[in-house]
Copies of this chain bind each other. A is one copy, B any other.
Amino acid sequence: MLKIDMHTHIIPKHLPDWSVKFGYGHFIHLDHHRPGYARMMQGDKFFREIEANCWDPQLRIDEYERYNTQVQVVCTIPVLFGYAAQPKDGLEMAMFLNDHIADLVARMPRHYVGLGTLPMQDVDLSIAELERCKNIGLKGIQIGSNINQQNLSESIFNPLWQAIEDLNMAVLVHPWEMMGQEEMRKYWLPWLVGMPAETARAICSLIFAGVMERFPGIRFNFAHAGGSFLPTLGRIEHGFHCRPDLVAIDNPINPREYVGKFWVDSATHDDQLFKYVLEMQGSKKITLGTDYPFPLGDLEVGKFIEEMGLEKNIVDDIFCNATLDWLQLPKSMFD
C-alpha cells in the first residue's frame, strides 16, 4: 500500500542570517551547536532545538521506512514564512526556501513532493512567486492562517486566489502567529489552544468571505484536521442562521455546505475525534498528515489509523488517494 504523508516540514541545513543581511528584524537563523542538532535562533533568542531530520532527506526517508511510508509532502516551517519582512526581502526568503525544496524533489521524486511558500505581505510578488513555484516543479503552496493578523477574507488577496485557481496549485493552510499567544505563554497554550482556533479562523474567513464560493477550483487542505472548525461547526452554523446581519454579509451560503469540499489532514491524535471527522468529511477528503518532524506531530505516521479497524478502502483513501486527488498527482509517480 502506498502511504503519503502530506504534512511535513523541512528546511535547508544552512540558512542565511537574514537579519544581518537585511539590516533589521529577528529572522530565524540556525546554530549547529552539536552534531545532529541545531538551535533555531530569533536574533539572540532561542526559539527551538531541531534535529537533523529537519534537513537531512536520507535520514527522513529512513525514519519513514519504519512506518512503511514512501512519500513525504514537504513545506517550510511557518516560523520561516517571513511575512513581516519588507516585501522584496520576503520574496528573497521565499525563493531561497522554494529553490531548496524544488532541488530536493527533483533529486528524489519518488520520495518527496514539494509545496512552496509565498511572500503573502505582497500579493503581486506572491503571484509571481506562485508562477515560479509551478515552473520549478512544486505542486502547491503553504500559507499561514493569518497574514500579519490580516485574515484570509481580505479582498486584497483576491488576485492571488484567482492565480492559484488558474495555475491549479494546491493550498495547505497552516496555523501560526496564534491568537492570544501573548496572554497565554504558559503550558504551551498557543500550540494547544491557539493553533486549533487559528485554523478555524482561516476556514471561517475563506467561507464567509466567499473565497471558497468564488474559487471552487482551489483545493484547500487544512492542518490538524481543520483545528476546531469541524467540532464547533454547530455553533458556527447557528451563528450564521441567527445573525446573518453579522455572519452572512459576504456569502449567503450555509458554512456546512463546504464540508467535504476541502481536505483536512489526519492529525487528531485521537480515535474518537478521527471518527467524528471521518463521518463529516468522508475518507476522500482526509489526507494522512503528521506535522513531522516536530514533537506535537503524529510521529508514528498514521499508526493509530491502522489500528482503528477501518475498512481497507477507507484507509487506502486516507493514506494515498485523498492526497493524490488533492495534489492531482498520478499514483504511478511513486511506482
Contact = CB atoms under 8 A, between A and B. Distances in A.
A196 to B, nearest CB: 5
A307 to B, nearest CB: 14
A201 interface: yes
Contacts of A267: 235
A214 interface: no
Contacts of A186: 151, 153, 205, 208, 249
Copy total for this chain: 2
A176 B189 CA distance: 17
A296 B243 contact: yes
A205 B276 CA distance: 26
The prevalent SS among residues of A at the interface is helix
A184 B179 contact: yes
A84 to B, nearest CB: 15
A192 B196 CA distance: 13
A233 interface: yes
Interface string A191-209: 1111111001100110011
Contacts of A239: 188, 191-192, 296
A194 B197 contact: yes
Contact residues on A (Cβ < 8 Å of other chain), bracket: 35 or more
A135 to B, nearest CB: 34
Interface string A154-168: 000000000000000
Nearest to A201: B193
A282 to B, nearest CB: 14
A242 B196 contact: no
A219 interface: no
B188 A247 contact: yes
Contacts of A194: 179, 197
A65 interface: no
A234 B195 CA distance: 13
B193 A234 contact: no
A183 B237 contact: no
B247 A197 contact: no
A145 to B, nearest CB: 11
17 contacts: A151-B184, A179-B184, A184-B201, A186-B208, A187-B204, A187-B205, A187-B247, A192-B247, A193-B232, A197-B200, A224-B235, A227-B232, A234-B273, A235-B296, A237-B270, A238-B296, A272-B280
Given A192-B232, A193-B200, A197-B200, 19 more contacts: A151-B189, A153-B187, A179-B197, A180-B180, A184-B201, A186-B205, A186-B208, A187-B204, A188-B247, A191-B239, A193-B232, A195-B235, A196-B200, A234-B268, A234-B273, A238-B269, A242-B296, A243-B295, A273-B276
